[in-house]
């Protein structure tokens, strides 16, 4: 498959401007911000908007792809913590912190309609990093050996659901939910066999039946 040609400098600048503007507007208004509002706030025409993102899903996929890169950076920073548990908890908290600041990002991550290829890319890039963070904490005696990346993905989904449900009336409730989830991972006796890692994709995307 031939890679798409890189955009001209001005075209890439417009693309990044539209992405940044969409993210900022969606932070307060959610994912349904009209294209017209994004183009107007960015100072571009509708033609530019549709050239860069012909369909709304193209825009959402671009935002999700950028978020993947952000989370990868968080994981790499967490791996450099001297204290394994502090790094692991910081990693999860940072993800949720930026979701708390953006209604649109929270909706995007839990809309369960991201492109399957992007979800798989996120899984392939992040799972080894998260597994490494967990392995460090297990070796340090800070986590039981049975904890897996799937368990952390489930904790993220659970706390994120609390965040979405309480955003309008108790916006800090997710922090208590996170504390509860982390305490459970650290101290609970987990039932059953460890789940297959493909469960991670199914937690974030329901296109694969």
CA distance 30 to 27: 6
Tens digits of residue pLDDT in 169-197 = 999 999 999 999 999 999 878 888 888 88
Tens digits of residue pLDDT in 13-23 = 999 999 999 99
Lowest-pLDDT choice from 94-98, 124-128, 160-164, 190-194: 190-194
Is residue 92 predicted with pLDDT exceeding 50?
yes
How many whole angstroms from its chain centre is CA 39? 25
CA distance 44 to 31: 19
Cβ count near 15 (within 10 Å): 16
CA distance 42 to 69: 23
- Ordered structural domains, the chain, with CATH: 7-54 (1.10.10), 56-204 (1.10.357.10)
| φ, ψ dihedrals at 31, nearest 5° | -75, -15
Q: Which residue has the higher pLDDT, 151 or 209?
A: 151
Are the beta carbons of 146 and 194 closer than 8 angstroms? yes
Whole-prediction pTM: 0.84
């Amino acid at each position: 498959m031939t890679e798409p040609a890189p955009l001209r400098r001005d075209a890439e600048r417009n693309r990044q401007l539209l992405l940044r503007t969409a993210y900022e507007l969606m932070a307060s208004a959610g994912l349904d911000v009209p294209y017209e509002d994004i183009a107007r706030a960015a100072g571009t025409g509708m033609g530019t908007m549709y050239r860069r993102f012909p369909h709304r899903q193209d825009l959402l996929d671009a935002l999700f792809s950028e978020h993947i890169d952000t989370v990868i950076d968080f994981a790499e920073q967490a791996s450099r913590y001297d204290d394994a548990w502090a790094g692991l908890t910081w990693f999860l908290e940072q993800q949720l912190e930026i979701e708390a600041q953006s209604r649109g990002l929270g909706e995007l991550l839990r809309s369960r309609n991201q492109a399957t290829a992007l979800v798989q890319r996120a899984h392939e890039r992040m799972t080894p990093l998260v597994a490494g963070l967990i392995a460090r904490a297990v070796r340090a005696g800070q986590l039981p050996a049975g904890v897996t990346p799937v368990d952390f993905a489930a904790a993220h989904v659970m706390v994120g659901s609390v965040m979405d449900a309480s955003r309008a009336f108790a916006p800090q409730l997710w922090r208590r939910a996170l504390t509860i989830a982390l305490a459970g991972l650290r101290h609970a006796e987990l039932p059953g066999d460890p789940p297959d890692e493909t469960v991670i994709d199914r937690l974030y995307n329901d296109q694969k039946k």
